[in-house]
Amino acid sequence: MTVAKNILLTGLPRVGKTTVIQKILARGKVKYGGFYTQALDPEARRRNFKLVTLEGNNREFSRKELIRRFEVEELLGLDLEELEKSGVEAIRRALVRCQVVVIDEIGRHEALSVPFRQAVEQALDSARPVLASVPLYGTPYIEGLKARADVQVIEVTGETRVLLADRIAQSLRDLTRTPIQQAHLAVSAR
What pLDDT band is residue 75 in, cutting at 50, 70 and 90?
A: very low
What pLDDT band is residue 23 in, cutting at 50, 70 and 90?
A: very high
How far is CA 62 from each of CA 12, 45, 52, 104, 110, rounded to the nearest angstrom?
A: 21, 13, 13, 15, 12
In-domain check, residue 172? yes
Mean pLDDT of the chain: 82
Q: Note every long-range contact of 73-76, with CB atoms under 8 Å and residues 24 or more positions apart, other chains counting.
A: 75/108, 75/109, 76/46, 76/109
Query: What pLDDT is recorded for position 190?
Result: 46
> Which residues form the domain of 67?
6-188
Query: What pLDDT is recorded for position 1?
Result: 43
Count of structural domains, the chain: 1
- The alpha carbon of 70 is separated from its chain's Cα centroid by a whole number of angstroms, namely 23
Region 172-182 average pLDDT: 74
In-domain check, residue 1? no
- The structure's pTM equals 0.83
Q: Using one digit for the tens of pLDDT, what is the confidence trace for 112-131? A: 899 999 999 999 999 999 99
In-domain check, residue 82? yes
In CATH, what number is assigned to the domain containing residue 176?
3.40.50.300
